[in-house]
Structure 1
């Protein structure tokens, strides 16, 4: 099986596809925004990446959400709950973590299936 990398830099790829599965990690580009805006921006980017590789948010298998502060949990969940289609929620974990930059409020690691015709 081949491995396809999308948006590859020296350090990371935006998405990696292998054996009908896509793996991706995303943060928001809105450095000074609150967690709700960062979450919405991040999930919009995730949706675009999924579409680029032949998947969508109904194909989510697993998500790990990293919050800089668990006080942001409810605000992040309000955006997440509106974004995930009813009946298509993946397995999910949400943890507090020190993120790569202090302005990051939320980061996500996702695994999704590729849509098979």
Structure 2
């Protein structure tokens, strides 16, 4: 899967993934020695990371490296598959409920 499909211009996809993969941030790195561009994912606890590299030549295969107890790229890929299966809902197609005590949340997406 292309890193741009999860962290590119599709803000609806980014929001959906962010709700399903909590506590993770992403950053882009260009001009990396062994890859033309790389998407970095890391968790807030600094225990897990993933890097997805684009070599600047082809768009069908991307090098993925993951480390730590969370397999962040796998989590992001699953969340993106759920987003596509739900019909790529826009921001208005999501509902987020927060428990009265603030300790729990529930998220659901409606089909577009």
Verify same fold: TM over 0.5.
no
TM-score (norm 2): 0.27
**Greater Rg by CA:** 2
Bigger relative contact order, structure 1 or 2, given CA contacts below 8 A and separation 6+? 1
* TM-score, length basis structure 1: 0.26
